Structure 1
């Protein structure tokens, strides 16, 4: 078992507003710094150019094949598991340098799975990555920071466009779907402080029964189900990746009633919080 910490490790890119690289992995020792579970403090994109890469994101494993890309949100905990003759391009950009409309789109599509690209699109993104890498090396440019910011946003736009192309256009959303999307967005930003379906309904200026009807019709599950799932996901992250006690985690997630939190975790997962921790660290 790897050594745990009081909080989930965060890889900081504080010195970068936009970071980009292309790396080939020849042995497992090449990625030691990334094989431990962590978060990044930027929005991260991985483009699989050659070979294969196995990655775990929030307890889900993905195998990335050539001509695929994946986006990882700053809240998501991830680690590299392994690879075979892999060449990966990666880039990361912070909130301040992302165009506001791109930031909103990224929030809306999270979480995502790895996305297969057609050859033409893949070629365009690879060429753009190469150009951006060249830009990143031209530190003598008077508008260097602007150049990095604009090139980073171009790459983000290219990838987000591909995700959007494979999802239903918001213009075609039904009233139920639109409300469900709005609810999920509010939930992501408030799950620690707001636990009641009624309070989410108030934020949306609709009744609680109508919110439940919209969400259940769209997803098959109730508002309470989604609230509980989001809380438990964060609890799992902290149980697995930190050495905080269950009581500390309950407090972090907005529960002063520790026994209630314990019962909720057991109800949603089928096992106790301590059993989950021990099972995943055997």
Structure 2
């Protein structure tokens, strides 16, 4: 059931302590009622979950995943997710904000997001368990003079191992073509500016390219136009807000940069095949 909320809840790791890096190993059995676990949320930082034992069913941006151990899950701060069910789970959960992640690793995380949960082979799993266990042991040495530096370095090593596992599957082989480089730059700009910029020409201007050339590159790599990608990103965010918040359609349209909410409603219907309020009502119990 969708929880009434004015906006999508954000889970602030570290709680009242305000810790910028957190890691812990958690074990729990299947519960009759999931309670707050079942409510959708975002995280306030990049978060990772190493599923050592058991099974978890999660919904991530309207896609349901049945995750079996051993697996790793990376969650970008933009992504909205909720737990649907779990059974006999042991998981290592860690999170870090942008300031504590190596800039190169942060760039790679932006490149691979959104990433689906990934099963691990025995070698990758054993290495991650060893690195995670060392991180957890370091959290017990808070009085050490270099505590934060040690923990930061080890967390970054752990994040690098996760990225490496994803890149084995995700990364293209060989040098990127010019079209792939342009498309990658467009996707990065889209992630930052989709609320403000809606026209392909604006993105071409950002990238110092002509609009036809940008469209040609993106279409050659993805098979879809720049306009298609812009609309899909906007409508994904609209779906998140329609399902996970109680904001009105007019408020959601304004949040996403549309002063004319009737136009936005027509766009949503065209792209998703369903009117906004029908989408909201369909997903209510």
TM-score (norm 1): 0.96
Q: Is 1:50 paired with 2:53?
A: yes
Unaligned stretches of 5+ residues in structure 2:
none
Q: Is 1:9 paired with 2:26?
A: no
Aligned residue among 65, 69, 74 for 2:72:
69
The answer as to whether partners of 1:25 and 1:31 remain within 8 angstroms in 2 is no
**Taking structure 1 as reference, are residues 16 and 190 closer, same or farther at Cα in structure 2, changes over 3 Å only?**
same
Q: Is 1:121 paired with 2:137?
A: no
Unaligned stretches of 5+ residues in structure 1:
none
Q: Is 1:155 paired with 2:158?
A: yes
2:111 matched residue in structure 1 = 108
Aligned residue among 12, 17, 23 for 2:26:
23
Could you list the structure 1 runs, at least 4 aligned residues long, displaced by more than 6 angstroms after superposition: none
Distance in 1 between residues matched to 2:170 and 2:206, nearest whole Å: 26
Distance in 1 between residues matched to 2:265 and 2:143, nearest whole Å: 56
Give the Å deviation of 1:63: 1.4
Residues 230-276 of structure 1 deviation map (CA, whole Å, 9 limit, x = unaligned): 00000000000110000000000000011110110000011110000
Distance in 1 between residues matched to 2:25 and 2:92, nearest whole Å: 4
Secondary structure of the equivalent of 2:160?
A: helix
Secondary structure of the equivalent of 1:172?
A: coil
Q: Is 1:208 paired with 2:206?
A: no
Distance in 1 between residues matched to 2:250 and 2:173, nearest whole Å: 41
Distance in 1 between residues matched to 2:19 and 2:191, nearest whole Å: 26
2:280 matched residue in structure 1 = 277
Give the Å deviation of 1:214: 0.9
Q: How many residue pairs get matched?
A: 282
TM-score (norm 2): 0.95
Distance in 1 between residues matched to 2:143 and 2:36, nearest whole Å: 30
Q: Is 1:139 paired with 2:177?
A: no
**Taking structure 1 as reference, are residues 213 and 265 closer, same or farther at Cα in structure 2, changes over 3 Å only?**
same
Give the Å deviation of 1:2: 4.2
Distance in 1 between residues matched to 2:112 and 2:3, nearest whole Å: 33
**Taking structure 1 as reference, are residues 2 and 82 closer, same or farther at Cα in structure 2, changes over 3 Å only?**
same
Give the Å deviation of 1:116: 1.8
